[in-house]
Amino acid sequence: MMRDVPLHRSATALGALSLLAAATLSAPPLQAAGPAGTTTPAIALPQLGDPHLTVVPRTVEETARIQAITAPTTEFDAPEPFEARPAGAATVRARKDDEAYSQHSAGLTFEEELEFKLGNGLFKKVWVPSPASTRASDGLGPLYNARSCQRCHLKDGRGHVPEGPDYAAATMFLRVSVPGPVPEQLQAVHDYIGTAPEPTYGGQLQDISAPGVPAEYRLGVTYSAETISLNGGETVTLQRPSYSADSLGYGPLQADAMLSPRVAPTMIGLGLLEAIPAADILALADPEDRDGDGISGRPSLVWSKEHQQIMLGRFGYKGGMPTIHEQSAGAFAGDIGISTPLNPAHWGDCTEAQTACRAAPHGGEDARETEIDQPNMDLVTFYSQNLAVPARRAIEDPAVLRGKEQFYNAGCTSCHTPKFVTHRMDGRDAQSFQLIWPYSDLLLHDMGDGLADNRPAGRANGREWRTAPLWGIGLTQQVNPRAGFLHDGRARTLLEAVLWHGGEAAAARDTVVNLPPEDRADLIRFLESL
């Protein structure tokens, strides 16, 4: 029998709250593409399991218990058991200041808390260009978007768009790519879309540079207003963004270059998302919409540099990274220009066309193999895995319960899957064997023309995005008052974010539009409680 437990738990108590176990399962074979009118036999891909985790397999009985406890509720007169703790025993109390996202997971040992604090120091570390007297901190750039992780992920939360004369694009940038071939390792994935870095500018545009190296661009953003009428006489004005790469430092972009904006996302709960069994996510996929509900979630499949196999993509707005370590290493390379063992190029995202950047001094000239070594990368990864999810607020409020019912009735849970149970894992007690409430299926969904960036990335086409987790979303603007919502921060409120949904989410959006004003307000109150 499950029972309520305090928020702060020891490592031993984590096991007491554990409900179930998990197994590494593989996806069914994928079909390879063949010429029109022909059939191609299935190609057996490597197991789409979780090679980065040491897990204990589930039993048949445990699997049945998981299915029962993660089934969507049909009762909304009271909170569900354990709903107050969206991260299970790793949940922490919700703070009322801008440190709400900066706490470590409950249940860490003293040694793990020390690792977390050391990782926090590296996350906040301000890097400087080479050469510098602070040799452990040099190697910045030569092209970059920010001098530290924290300067993008403000207080471990979301970034914001640049505003007027206060140009602060360090929390936002443009990704760039051109059409290209499908990598050899991914040719078995029949709908993988080939792209390549832009030949002159690389994979993303950097607006800051080291001395003697021209910056790549300045981000331009303009908005046009669109008014949406809601049931009950209310109106909402949406701002439709238009982006430009201004003041290009290396000549024009290639004619077929595709640009897509990115605002730094919230960092909480990442280790728990990483601990969800791949099989449980794959089980939610319905690419052909065989059940006829209009929802066609598809898994992102990516090549893991670290594990040298195809893995489920969980991280990034289009699910482009399989693990937190690879996501972190990619950010060091692209955002800060810092070399890591996984991405050892000292010039970061600089291309061969950017000769001054390639020739600039770097932090590897003092016998360091990379500007940040693997032990320090492990600390950054541990920190990112253990930024805690705050507890829910006001879950017994009748308005919140009514709003939850509206959320379910509108069909929002078709993509924002409420609950999972994580793997039982060795060495990661804080994320092991927990009932969690991320409100995401981590799959790719068509979000319609309104949110389309028209830039494919892997399996995600120009209209598809990975379902964003919703836990902690009600504290977004408490942590950063300037933060907006969605991949580019265009939505200033949660209601605006809902109204931008289209494609597979159009029916749910229209349901919200047609709700009586009091029901719509309850729905937003529920989201604010997450």
Question: Could you write out the DSSP letters of every residue in 134-187?
Answer: -GGGB---SEES-SSSTTTSGGGS-----BTTB--GGGEEEEEEEE-PPPGGGT
Residue 345 in tokens? 């190029």
pLDDT for 490 equals 97
The answer for residues whose C-beta is within 8 angstroms of residue 292's C-beta and 6 or more apart is none
pLDDT for 135 equals 74
pLDDT for 73 equals 97
Backbone φ, ψ for residue 48 (5° rounding):
-85, 55
The answer for residues whose C-beta is within 8 angstroms of residue 381's C-beta and 6 or more apart is 119, 324, 325, 328
Print pLDDT tens along the chain (530 aa).
233 323 333 333 333 233 322 222 233 333 333 333 333 333 344 467 888 889 999 999 999 999 999 999 999 999 999 999 999 999 999 999 999 999 999 999 999 999 999 999 999 999 999 988 777 788 999 999 999 999 999 999 999 998 766 665 568 999 999 999 999 999 999 899 999 999 999 999 999 999 999 999 999 999 999 999 999 999 999 999 999 999 999 999 999 999 999 999 999 999 999 999 999 999 999 999 999 999 999 999 999 999 999 999 999 999 999 999 999 999 999 999 999 999 999 999 999 999 999 999 998 777 789 999 999 999 999 999 999 999 999 999 999 999 999 999 999 999 999 999 999 999 899 899 999 999 999 999 999 999 999 999 999 999 999 999 999 999 999 999 999 999 999 999 999 999 999 999 999 999 999 999 999 999 999 999 99
pLDDT for 355 equals 96
Residue 310 lies in a domain: yes
What residues does 236 pair with on adjacent strands?
228
Is the pTM value of this prediction over 0.95? no
Residue 434 lies in a domain: yes
Residue 137 lies in a domain: yes
pLDDT for 43 equals 37
pLDDT for 368 equals 84
Residue 3 lies in a domain: no
pLDDT for 47 equals 60
Residue appearing with tokens 């206060």: 166
Residue 128 lies in a domain: yes
Chain centroid to Cα 300, Å, comes to 12
b/e per residue, 458-487, with b = 16+ CB within 10 A?
A: bbbbbbbbbbbbbbbbbbbbbbbebbbbbb
Residue 209 in tokens? 């540079």
User: How far apart (Å, rounded) are the C-alpha atoms in residues 37 and 252?
Assistant: 41
Residue appearing with tokens 């253990």: 386
Q: Which of 244, 247, 171 is nearest to 215 (CA)?
A: 247
The number of domains in the chain is 1
Residue 4 lies in a domain: no
Backbone φ, ψ for residue 26 (5° rounding):
-105, 160
Q: Which of 291, 236, 238, 279 is nearest to 411 (CA)?
A: 291
Q: Which helix (H) or strand (E) holds 310?
A: strand 309-313
The whole domain housing 322 covers 11-529
Residue 6 lies in a domain: no
Residue 5 lies in a domain: no
